[in-house]
Amino acid sequence: MSLLILMRHGQSMWNAANLFTGWVDVPLTNKGIEEAIAGGKEISELPIDEVHVSTLIRAQMTAMLALAQRGDGCVPVFQYSANDESMSENESRMVEWAQSNDSGEGTLPVYVSWQLNERMYGDLQGLDKQETRDKYGDEQVHIWRRSFDVPPPGGESLELTAARTIPYLDSEIVPSLEKGRNVFVAAHGNSLRSIVMSIEGLSREEVLGLEIPTGKPLVYEWIGGNWSQKSI
C-alpha cells in the first residue's frame, strides 16, 4: 500500500482580490499561510517519500509550509533536471551546482512540474471576476469557469488541463506508488480536479460539481493498482 496526498494551495493574494489568476505567479495571503500550516498538521504523521509541486509560488509555499509541520527531520530538497536541451548556460550551471554530495538520507526530494500548474485563464488572467461577469454575463463566465471543454479566450479548458496532468500522474507519480513510495502533491484547484477525475473515474458531468478546498488534504491509498480514499 502507498499513499497519494493531494493538497490545493492556500488562499492566494489574487484569490482574496477576486481576480482570475491562472498561471500568474502570486503568493499566499496570511490566511493562505494559515491554511497551508493547518493542512500540514493534518498530514504530519503520514509517511511522505517524495513531493511534487507546480512551478507556481503559491503551490510551492503551501508545500513547504505543510512539510514544516512534520517532526521527522527530513529536509525538502528541490531536484533539478539537466535533460532540457533548450536550457541556458546559467540554467545548466544551476543544475550542476545544486547537486548534493551526501547519500540523500534525511532529505525529501521535491520535483517541480509545469504539468501540475493551474489551468491557464488566457485573456481573463488579472481581470476582476465580478467585472468580467458584468461585461460578458453570468452564464458565459460560468461556462468558461465550470464547463469541461470550453476554454476562456486564449486559455485552457479543464479538458486541456487534464491532457497534461493525467499523463504526469501516470508517468511520474504512479510509478513511485508502485515502488511503495508515498507521494505528496501540492497544486491547484483545476489541476487537482482533473487528477481526482482520473483517480475516482468521474465522468465529464460529475467532475463539473467537484470542488477542491484550499489547504485541505485529500488522501488516497494505492493498493495493487486500485485507488481508495482514506480519511485522516
Distance CA 162, CA 193 (A): 9
- Average pLDDT for the chain: 94
Domain that holds residue 158: 2-230
- C-beta of residue 98 within 8 angstroms of C-beta of residue 78: yes
Question: How would residue 86 be classed by pLDDT, with cut points 50, 70 and 90?
Answer: low
Q: What is the model's pTM? A: 0.94
Q: How many domains does the chain have?
A: 1
Name which residue leads in pLDDT, 50 or 84: 50
Indicate which CATH number applies to the domain containing 46. Answer: 3.40.50.1240
Write the pLDDT tens digit of every residue in 141-183.
999 999 999 999 999 999 999 999 999 999 999 999 999 999 9
- C-beta of residue 186 within 8 angstroms of C-beta of residue 10: no
Residues 6+ apart with CB under 8 A from 134: none
- Other Cβ atoms less than 10 A from the Cβ of 59: the count is 29
The DSSP string of 99-119 is ---S--TTEEEEEE-GGGSPP
18 three-state secondary structure: coil
Question: How would residue 83 be classed by pLDDT, with cut points 50, 70 and 90?
Answer: low
160 three-state secondary structure: helix
Question: How would residue 81 be classed by pLDDT, with cut points 50, 70 and 90?
Answer: confident
Catalytic residue ranges: 9, 118
Backbone dihedral angles phi then psi of residue 85, each to the nearest 5 degrees: -70, -20
Q: Reply yes or no on whether the pLDDT at 100 is more than 90.
A: no
For cell 504512479, the residue is 174
Measure CA 202 to chain center: 19
7 three-state secondary structure: strand
